[in-house]
């Protein structure tokens, strides 16, 4: 009877160990597949090197709107510049992002000034990190991937403490492999904002992605903001463009 009890305990222990091992293996495979999917999402959203236009509309609780139009150039997963085309009062202002370092150039000041990811060069809910978004896979690791309502749900963790959001929950449209919704959280788990990706559009050159990004935030009650993408196309860009000395010349690159 004692031997049977020992055998039974050993069997149960072995089953538990095997269950944990298989669970860990499947979890690792899901994470690996999730990180691969995240890189696909980045390339589906934008080419590795490209130019585009984007309009940003800040909407106040009373319905008042303010619009901005930006010309954008991006190269690799760590370089981006923008320059304002509208409104007239903003023409000539430019931003530069190199990895997590950001600068703002204002013609009247005549020299670039350091800015942070959580600030906003346009006010409203979109911060500088949203406006100058780099590849998600450059800033985040997938820590979990699950299925939810015919979509993939990726739980992302920031690779460093310098990014705007410590954690993201990204719902992925499995047909186009682009986000449908992203929730942005602090390290303590507080929801900062929600990004809604809408209106899938064929931009040509194999780029089929949402053309509208809307955001709302529990920290900014009844405020909203909309980002509209246009003319996304691949373009070869010299590294010189992504330097402090070039920030006053970005507008000259528009073809």
- Confidence (pLDDT) at 2: 44
- 19 in any annotated domain: no
Residue 3 tokens, joined: 């031997």
- Confidence (pLDDT) at 205: 92
Q: Is 90 exposed, middle or buried, given 0-12, 13-18 or 19+ CB atoms closer than 10 A?
A: middle
User: Which phi-psi region, left, alpha or beta, contains residue 151 (left: φ > 0; alpha: ψ -120 to 50)?
Assistant: beta
Would you say 122 and 131 are in contact if contact means Cβ atoms under 8 Å apart? yes
- 31 in any annotated domain: no
- Confidence (pLDDT) at 112: 95
243 vs 77: CA distance, rounded Å: 15
- 240 in any annotated domain: yes
Residue 107: CATH number of its domain: 2.50.20.10
- Confidence (pLDDT) at 8: 60
- Confidence (pLDDT) at 110: 81
- Confidence (pLDDT) at 10: 57
Q: Which residues of the chain have pLDDT under 50?
A: 2, 13, 16-26
Taken in order 207, 209, 213, 217, is the CA torsion positive or negative?
Answer: negative
- Confidence (pLDDT) at 5: 52
N-to-C CA span, the chain = 86
Angle formed at CA 86 by CA 165 and CA 76, multiple of 5 degrees: 45
Angle formed at CA 226 by CA 50 and CA 85, multiple of 5 degrees: 55
- 223 in any annotated domain: yes
- In SS3 terms, the chain reads as CHHHHHHHHHHHHHHHHHHHHHHHHHHHHHHHHHHHHHHHHHHHHCCCEEEEEEEEEEECCCCCEEEEEEEEEEECCCEEEEEEEECHHHCCCEEEEECCEEEEECCCCCCEEEECCCCCCCCCCCCHHHHCCCCHHHHEEEEEEEEECCEEEEEEEECCCCCCCCEEEEEEECCCCEEEEEEEECCCCCEEEEEEEEEEEEEECCEEEEEEEEEECCCCCCCEEEEEEEEEEECCCCHHHHCHHHHHHHHHHCC
63 vs 45: CA distance, rounded Å: 30
- 17 in any annotated domain: no
The domain containing residue 219 runs over which residues? 41-253
Would you say 129 and 120 are in contact if contact means Cβ atoms under 8 Å apart? no
100 vs 108: CA distance, rounded Å: 25
- 10 in any annotated domain: no
Number of domains in the chain: 1
């Amino acid at each position: 009877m004692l031997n049977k009890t020992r055998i039974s305990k050993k069997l149960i222990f072995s089953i538990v160990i095997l269950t944990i091992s298989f669970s860990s293996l499947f979890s690792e495979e899901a994470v690996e597949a999730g990180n691969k999917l995240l890189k696909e999402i980045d390339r589906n959203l934008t080419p590795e090197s490209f130019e585009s236009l984007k309009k940003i509309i800040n909407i106040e609780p009373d319905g008042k709107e303010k619009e901005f139009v930006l010309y954008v150039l991006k190269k690799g997963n760590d370089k981006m510049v923008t320059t304002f085309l509208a409104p007239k009062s903003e023409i000539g202002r430019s931003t530069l992002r190199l990895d997590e370092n950001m600068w703002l150039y204002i013609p009247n000041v005549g020299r670039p000034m350091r800015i942070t990811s959580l600030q906003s060069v346009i006010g409203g809910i979109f911060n500088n990190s949203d406006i100058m978004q780099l590849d998600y896979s450059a800033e985040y690791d997938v820590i979990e991937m699950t299925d939810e309502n015919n979509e993939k749900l990726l739980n992302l963790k920031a690779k460093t403490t310098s990014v705007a959001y410590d954690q993201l929950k990204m719902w992925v449209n499995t047909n186009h492999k682009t986000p449908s919704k992203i929730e942005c959280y602090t390290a303590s788990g507080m929801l900062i904002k929600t990004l809604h990706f809408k209106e899938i559009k064929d931009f040509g050159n194999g780029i089929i992605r949402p053309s509208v990004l809307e955001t709302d935030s529990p920290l900014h009650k009844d405020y909203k903001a909309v980002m509209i993408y246009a003319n996304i196309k691949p373009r070869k860009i010299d590294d010189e463009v992504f330097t402090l000395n070039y920030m006053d010349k970005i507008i000259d690159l528009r073809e």
